[in-house]
Amino acid sequence: MAKIAFLLADYFEDSEMKNPYDALTQEGHETVIIGIEKGASYKGKNGTTYISDLSAQEADASQFDAIIIPGGGAPEALRVNDEIIDFVKQANEQGKLIAGICHGPQVMISADILNGKSVTCYIGIRDDVKLAGANYLDEEVVVGGNLITSRTPKDEPAFIKEISTKLASLA
């Protein structure tokens, strides 16, 4: 089974964290919540709360098979943290699966890993991903190399299915 990092900060979109986290945990994968601080409590837009297992500074990309970045307001806080960006860059350099939904690709933009990749995202950041060199597609889920992206909570079933399929192929 895979070891999966969920990157989290306050004001995440609750379902975009809860549904992939629960589904992948039920499949038997090891899920680790990484925040800016270890042991910090992060609250979603609708009140769901998670506590981080590790800080980004402690996290080692080589220890993980995948990274998932839920959307909402959290990616805005994550993308300005150097340790988060270094973690994502290292994972990308190692060819690890990196999945982001909604505003999640904002972290990918700041990590400068979108150039030449096909992605989707929340329409409000569409121009940002294009300016980062990505090929934007308005589809429920897009696989571009080691990246998996989706647009909104309604795309979660396809997003989760694609992540599960990709993780199964790693086994």
Over the chain (171 residues), what is each successive 10-residue block's mean pLDDT?
A: 97 98 97 97 98 97 98 98 98 98 98 98 98 98 98 98 95 69
Superfamily designation of domain 3-170: Class I glutamine amidotransferase (GATase) domain (3.40.50.880)
Question: What pLDDT, on a 0 to 100 scale, did the predictor assign at position 170?
Answer: 83
Between CA 92 and CA 75 the distance in angstroms is: 17
Q: Return the domain boundaries, the chain.
A: 3-170
- Cα torsion at 75, 2, 52, 59 (round to 10°)? -80
CA 124, 32, 82, 145 torsion: positive or negative?
negative
Per-residue b or e along 34-69, where b marks 16 or more CB atoms closer than 10 Å to that residue's CB: bbbebeeebbbbeeeebebbbbbeebebeebbbbbb
Take residue 116 and report the two structure tokens written for it.
């030449």
Q: What is the DSSP letter of 12?
A: B
Annotated active-site residue 121? The verdict is: no
Q: Which residue carries 């300005």 as its tokens?
A: 80
Say what the pTM is.
0.98
Q: Which residues, at least 6 apart from 139, have a Cβ–Cβ distance to it below 8 Å? A: 120, 151
Of 74, 102, 129, 147, which is the active-site residue?
102
List the catalytic residue out of 79, 96, 103, 117.
103
